[in-house]
A and B are shown apart, each in its own frame.
Chain A
């Protein structure tokens, strides 16, 4: 029972990752289908004699694409396979499920600051993440975020390397950095109209990179010739993730999630009064300190100090031998 929560959490993380890869592949497949439709229309015989003669003239001149606009739009919009692909598309950054859009709070906040953006659409798309954050706090960080999963893997590698005396003690920073980064980033993006937070947010980078990698590895995509050349699969921003991984491996464990993640800052603020959290049942506790040692966010579950930065990863619950840590539902009491 103890380990099962962690197994379940890793299962969710991996299945989210697989889902993102899957939607990227279906998007690529959709583009192939659409190209097939367009080619069918170009090769088919036009219905009337005049259009047929026009086609012959066009083909002789080389301008054979001149009649695609209306017929292709109809054919593409009526294609059932393409409809299915469109009903589940996107990723954790911006996704669409049966026509209902879901947007990441970082992206949503940046979009809300722009004068002419469609605020109602953004607010509707923000409903689901905000409700989840109000109920569970930073649950996105530990259960869904692929960057968090990546950094967890890095922390695991770090724990394997620790006995060899290669790595020193993990550095600590001020926790308020993430809130400052959020405020400064929003002001910066408002002033210079560069969405700096969206550009450097690791989950967003991973979403973009996955999309690019799949489109450049799979054959026959015209678009990707433009964004990255054939010699270079990753874009510059993946260097940022590489830098963070090295930083976390050698200097400070889980530093991005703990001290700098502005997305985590938004979820923390929303989750301050969350309804469901982990709570210590003090009579059962024998003060062994296993939970405090295991906490990936450097919190202190042994003294019941979870605070708003707890990401409900339930590692403390799994590490407790006396099962003194339990779920607490605020609304019921």
Chain B
């Protein structure tokens, strides 16, 4: 009844190899062209470009880096759903990372509403029900700069900010904070709340391994 399948279904082997070679070379060529054009168009200031590094903090529930990069289809739904505007998207300068979500906790920290894990269509961000199950990083205290630790003040701002009250962060003598690794989810609210402006005394570090 329908006869012109032949044209498509009888894939000539020669033609298939030719076409495959063409597509592979065009993919490589186009990616090279993209990166070249990206370098030419580089209008962003240096600080913004360095905002993204491979050792980055991903939104809650992210798979390991290799699976995440291939499962993330760059639909930007997580950024749309993130109401505190904590999730940011990598720009053109970040080549293959372009369009992937990440968090800069010192600017805007994740409030653990877990809305992004609900909207992610592919499971690049796995669905998480309780905020205790999130593990996006680990906070570390710099005891030299923390005002409660080095004795120059009496703060405790990170403790009041911590969403896992009294579990992940505990206060010692003079409100000096200590992090408990088992409970810390790495949301970064402590880092955002830290009263030191330039060099934060408590910082969240990604637990991702560089691939």
Contact = CB atoms under 8 A, between A and B. Distances in A.
Interface stretch (A60-68, A141-149, A287-295): A60-68
Interface string A286-304: 0000000000000110001
B152 interface: no
Nearest to B211: A193
B63 A67 contact: no
A73 B195 contact: no
Contacts of B158: 66
B85 A63 contact: no
Given A72-B84, A121-B121, A174-B19, A110 B43 contact: no
B48 A180 contact: no
Interface in A280-333: 299-300, 304-309
Given A117-B67, A236-B34, A58 B160 contact: yes
Contacts of A189: 70
Contact of A76 (B22, B98, B113, B119): B113
B151 interface: no
A176 B91 contact: no
A101 interface: yes
Contact of A66 (B63, B88, B115, B189): B189
B182 interface: no
A228 B123 CA distance: 26
A200 B43 contact: no
Chain B, interface size category, equals 35 or more
Interface in B47-90: 48, 51, 63-64, 66-67, 69-77, 79-81, 83-85, 87-90
A208 B76 contact: yes
Interface in B145-161: 155, 157-158, 160-161
A13 interface: no
A216 to B, nearest CB: 12
A308 B9 CA distance: 11
Contacts of A181: 23
Given A103-B121, A174-B19, A184-B23, A193 B66 contact: yes
A161 interface: no
Contact of A67 (B4, B51, B71, B160): B160
A225 B44 CA distance: 9
Interface in A153-189: 174-177, 179-181, 183-185, 188-189
A174 B15 contact: yes
Contacts of B115: 77
A229 B43 contact: yes
A43 interface: no
A246 interface: no
B19 A117 contact: no
Contacts of A89: 77, 80-81, 119
Interface in B171-211: 187, 189, 192-195, 197
Contact of A110 (B22, B34, B70, B127): B70
Contacts of A121: 121-123, 127
Given A116-B63, A190-B70, A223 B79 contact: yes
Interface string A89-117: 11001101000010100011011011111
A27 interface: yes
Given A111-B73, A226-B88, A236-B38, A63 B127 contact: no
A307 B8 CA distance: 10
A116 B67 contact: yes
Interface centre among A115, A174, A179 (most CB of B within 10 A): A174
A113 B70 contact: yes
Interface of A: 27, 30-31, 34-35, 37-38, 54, 58, 61-63, 65-70, 72-73, 76-77, 82, 86, 89-90, 93-94, 96, 101, 103, 107-108, 110-111, 113-119, 121-122, 125, 174-177, 179-181, 183-185, 188-190, 193-196, 198-200, 204, 207-208, 211, 221-223, 225-229, 231-232, 235-237, 239-240, 272, 299-300, 304-309
Interface of B: 2-5, 7-8, 11, 15-16, 19-20, 22-24, 27, 30-31, 34, 37-38, 41, 43-45, 48, 51, 63-64, 66-67, 69-77, 79-81, 83-85, 87-92, 96, 98-99, 108, 111-113, 115, 119, 121-124, 126-127, 155, 157-158, 160-161, 163, 187, 189, 192-195, 197
Given A110-B71, A189-B70, A307-B2, 11 more contacts: A72-B84, A90-B77, A107-B122, A117-B124, A118-B126, A121-B127, A175-B7, A199-B98, A226-B48, A226-B89, A226-B91
20 contacts: A73-B113, A76-B83, A89-B81, A94-B121, A107-B121, A117-B124, A119-B123, A121-B121, A121-B127, A122-B122, A174-B19, A175-B8, A176-B19, A177-B19, A180-B23, A195-B70, A207-B75, A208-B76, A231-B43, A307-B7
The 3 closest A-B pairs by CB, nearest first: A118-B123, A111-B122, A34-B83
